[in-house]
A = this chain, B = another copy of it.
């Protein structure tokens, strides 16, 4: 419970960059908003809370489990644990709507304390929502009570730190509440790092990444979070679920996979054995311009299928590219692109690709060379390092800027999916069309980029901007989100590549796993959590 974000937005107060006048001006051109601040979040004192409901026996049991000082129900902590960071979460918190806040926040310090807390909650029939970094953008932290009186926020922040390092095997045993930068910092002392860098890097915990099957910006090269998990330990209401940590096994189904992506519905992950890598002594970020999104996708497919994909690869579609160029400022962009700038102009409308390699010097050069050859033969024009380094420097700023956009009455949200290379263009078109149609009353700007490459396909990440409907901004986005989700499911793509299911994607889970698949998840949950206290309303359809 040390570092805390603003309850109504991203990061610590004052941490992010301000919105420039240039960008504020663009908002007018694009969305028809004035660029002036039209709304501000309420003060903490004005947030609407209900009085906490915690039966005396439950409180006593929780205090026995973790110590009285780690059982809190003050206004600040309840509001801070009330939601994640989706657009809808922020709309609610900025307006002071926090009636559903958890009744009490409990912070155990180790696995046994977590088991004791779960036991107490099961006994009392209190709902439990595990809280790691607090960065869910899919309603994964909503303190749904599932008909129960009390919601307990299980704060895992005290389960932090490196437990054990096997340098030879590059395996780190880590407590689940450890934040990504703190783990990288601890590992750096040994010349190692995890290198998992989602946009939520500054806040996300390793346990949260495991529970939600996270992907980071370099996961094309370093692997999705689930590929970094050699073993895990999870506390459930019926006891410990632990897997043998090892490089590979054929001893029946991989039980790690049941916990990875379980999103707190089975229990709380308490420890992970993670595959780590050496710190990067060199990195090379650069940008390229492709003639079209289609040509760009083909170039990326060639990289992935030749097994020479960069660690980071992000291809913007034409709309995303135009917005990126405009936001960067024409002049600034041309300056960064340097000598290539004039050629850029002949290429328009084109698609921007950012590539990145990280490692030691020889390794970066060795891996980049065949990729650069393939990109050039796929029609990519090199824009040099300037714009690539610009992207890298700003790679965690998106969520910070969102708060400034909300101040200005802008709808801003993202969604993502993944599909095969063959399906990519179709899914891209279908989602764009669905969003455009759903938001036709406030014509949106929709950008999309390919963010992660696989030999058989890629992910698509959409960013949507529109003028907020001041009467019902929540319903405005809900309709758009529903339309996009339906389009994704109809196209046979996954409802989420790395944002997880939470509450917002539950409606599409059966399209993904089939009726029997959902029943099996339910059977597993029933066994681990017979009283149904763990994260009601998340992941599984009712």
Chain A contacts to B: CB under 8 angstroms: 166, 168-171, 212-215, 224, 226, 230, 236, 238-263, 275, 277, 301, 305-306, 363, 366, 370, 418-423, 452, 454-459, 492-501, 505, 508-509, 511-517, 519-521, 523-524, 526-528, 539
Contact = CB atoms under 8 A, between A and B. Distances in A.
Given A257-B253, A520-B524, A418 B248 contact: yes
Nearest to A214: B250
Question: How many copies of this protein are present in the complex?
Answer: 2
B421 A250 contact: no
A513 B252 contact: yes
26 contacts: A168-B421, A169-B421, A213-B250, A226-B254, A243-B514, A243-B517, A244-B511, A246-B418, A248-B418, A248-B459, A248-B494, A250-B499, A251-B261, A251-B500, A252-B261, A252-B262, A252-B509, A253-B257, A253-B258, A253-B259, A253-B260, A253-B262, A255-B521, A257-B258, A275-B456, A306-B363
A28 B419 CA distance: 60
A496 B422 CA distance: 37
Given A247-B456, A251-B512, 17 more contacts: A168-B301, A212-B250, A239-B515, A242-B514, A246-B457, A246-B493, A247-B457, A247-B459, A248-B418, A248-B452, A249-B496, A249-B512, A253-B259, A253-B521, A275-B456, A520-B524, A520-B528
A241 B514 contact: yes
Contacts of A527: 519-520, 523
A479 to B, nearest CB: 22
- Name the residue in A224, A226, A261 with the highest tally of chain B Cβ atoms < 10 Å from its Cβ: A261
**Across chains A and B, which 10 residue pairs bring their CB atoms closest together, nearest first?**
A257-B257, A247-B457, A247-B454, A169-B420, A213-B250, A249-B494, A253-B261, A523-B527, A169-B421, A251-B512
B252 A497 contact: no
